[in-house]
Chains A and B, each alone.
Chain A
């Protein structure tokens, strides 16, 4: 990531705090996880902030926050802030990731492993 960051630094004169307007995402109440899926509801408005527009474009089909962060080459906090704006405007929808409860219980798997090993 550091190499990419360096490249970015060479490419752009603006700093991250300007992109987020000084917000760090800490105050946001949205429960955005790295694997939260984001889907755009509309196409980007003309004249929108480029990062917003890019998210809107990227999220035509669901993308996780982590992927957005990677594509945009922006830290997760920044993406979170940007997504917070878009969510507040209702231009994207966040979908919860796979609920952990739906996955098989860890103890069950361990029990299976034990059973298999005892065979």
Chain B
């Protein structure tokens, strides 16, 4: 029996198919041991080969497999016939019967087994193709999740049109799915996912944008009111300038209004808009710094030190004022009330460095890095939604402005113990061209005497009498005014060529206007002003340059010469920048 067990075992093991075991087990014991010399080992070897081939390569044996089930039956028949021949004749009938039944049973079993085998093959093939499809689907889905969707969000963040993004993404997705050979349903499902994600992102973006627009809108309205208020306050300050009490109250109101304006500006900036009003012309840096000071609470504690004589181009004026105001506010807020905050502006290689140094509490390294991180964050794009419960607007606003206008802001420990904030204004926002504004324009645009400083010899002679007669001021005052004005008139042509500080146009205009200014200002000046000025401008000085007087009266808004000179002025203004 050892060889049969071995065959069975090997056949079972090598095919791995359980359904072969049964016919063998049935078939083999039916073989009498006498058959062994004749049938062995060829038949079983052949059977074994057949079984092995059948089991190992189900695909390749397809035509033969139809007849495989016949084999055990045929063998049983042969075995039965042989047995019937060999056994004694009286036992032949039962043997034949047994053989017949066995044959039928084996045939049935074999047929069923073969059928099941084929079904199993089919299933296996199916499951293999399904696994492949599944793998491809998984690959496409992973790509959708890990590449396409992030790209969609990114591209929407770059302000691309959602329609464009959807179209290109849908196409890419369809192409991938086609390459993977997946069904249209799958494609459609993925496109639906893409579309709904896109819609969700767009809807959120729209929501945020409309919220920001609302913010900006409200801020703009507040700004408009504040601006109006500031102008009116300024008018009132002029009107009540002589009454110190009223004037002081007006200044306080003015200050409060400026603070409100800054808050509105902050909201506008965080809403992604410009901080506020636009400046059409360059403004001196000194004015810009004082403008920043005028928007904080503790402006009296700010000490303005040396400032380089440059101007800031118009479009950067308001952002710079606002950013500096926020930094100054920070500095004054987080330092003891009795300490000073130092504000300087120096020229550096890359532009102008504005330094704000306070003697307050030193910022810990951690707080400093947190602040810098906040600045950094703001530069990457922070908006009203990200501010959180108790918004610290200041740094966010500074970061935002720095990002928009290329300011470099850094916070460092100060030698005074506090914080030293440095804001570098890039070179291209700085100009040395003539600037308007109070700070440096003041000497040039008004006053009759600024020529004196440039031509000390000329005016000295006519004004000589004045210092020499201090005891009788009333009498020499009128004569003094006369020669001075005439003198200026004579100076005009000379001075135009002798411009200094690279401010020729502006200077010339100011000089030209200077002599006529008393004429313009006299009526508006307080009525207590002595007759001196009216006497001085009455006859002698209109003579040499009547057009100048008309021009000046137009400049100062007098009704007499309003039409012509206004246009002159505007044309000149348009030339200037």
Contact = CB atoms under 8 A, between A and B. Distances in A.
A54 B447 contact: yes
Given A5-B238, A16-B251, A22-B300, A62 B517 contact: no
A62 B473 contact: yes
A4 B237 CA distance: 12
Contact of B530 (A35, A39, A96): A35
Interface string B215-241: 000000000000000110011011111
Interface residues of B, number: 72
B342 interface: no
A11 interface: yes
Contact of B442 (A3, A13, A60, A72): A72
B448 interface: yes
A74 B321 CA distance: 22
A117 interface: no
B242 A18 contact: no
A62 B530 CA distance: 14
A35 B525 CA distance: 11
A11 B449 CA distance: 22
A16 B237 CA distance: 9
Given A11-B438, A18-B299, A37-B473, A77 B244 contact: yes
Contact of B300 (A1, A21, A39, A80): A21
Contacts of B293: 14, 18
B291 interface: yes
A39 B467 CA distance: 9
Interface in B540-558: 556-557
A24 B524 CA distance: 22
Contacts of B321: 13
B89 to A, nearest CB: 134
A61 B466 contact: yes
Given A18-B293, A24-B251, A67-B529, A11 B238 contact: no
Interface in B142-164: none
A12 interface: yes
B487 to A, nearest CB: 10
B566 to A, nearest CB: 11
Contacts of B437: 11-14
B234 A8 contact: yes
B118 interface: no
B474 A71 contact: no
B572 to A, nearest CB: 14
A59 B466 CA distance: 12
A25 B21 CA distance: 119
B255 A17 contact: yes
Contacts of A16: 234, 237, 251, 254
Nearest to A24: B248
B254 A53 contact: no
A15 B231 contact: no
Interface in B269-310: 279, 283, 286-288, 290-291, 293-294, 299-300, 306
Contacts of B480: 61-62
B484 interface: yes
B446 A43 contact: no
A34 B529 contact: yes
A53 to B, nearest CB: 6
Interface in B413-448: 436-443, 446-448
A13 B287 contact: yes
Contacts of B371: none
B131 to A, nearest CB: 73
Contacts of B528: 34-35, 66
Contacts of B241: 69, 74-78
B525 A70 contact: yes
Interface string A33-57: 0110101000100010011011001
B436 A12 contact: yes
Contacts of A22: 251, 255, 299-300
A53 B286 CA distance: 14
A1 B288 CA distance: 24
B453 interface: yes
Contacts of A1: 235, 238-239, 524
Contacts of B467: 39, 61
Contact of A15 (B258, B440, B442, B448): B258
A86 to B, nearest CB: 15
B314 to A, nearest CB: 11
B443 A34 contact: no
A52 to B, nearest CB: 10
Which has the most chain B C-beta neighbours within 10 Å: A2, A15, A76?
A: A15
B453 A57 contact: yes
Contacts of B239: 1-2
Contacts of A72: 442, 446-447
A95 interface: yes
B172 interface: no
Contacts of A75: 237-238, 240-242, 247
Contacts of B316: none
A18 B248 CA distance: 12
A34 B453 contact: no
B230 A9 contact: yes
B356 to A, nearest CB: 15
A40 to B, nearest CB: 9
20 contacts: A4-B556, A9-B231, A12-B283, A13-B287, A13-B294, A13-B317, A14-B291, A14-B438, A17-B294, A22-B299, A35-B530, A50-B440, A51-B438, A54-B442, A54-B447, A57-B447, A61-B452, A61-B484, A67-B518, A77-B244
Interface of B: 230-231, 234-235, 237-245, 247-248, 251-252, 254-255, 258, 279, 283, 286-288, 290-291, 293-294, 299-300, 306, 317-318, 321, 436-443, 446-450, 452-453, 459, 463, 466-467, 470, 473-474, 477, 480, 484, 517-518, 521, 524-526, 528-530, 533, 556-557
Which 6 A-B residue pairings sit nearest by Cβ, starting from the closest?
A75-B241, A13-B291, A24-B248, A26-B244, A3-B557, A14-B290
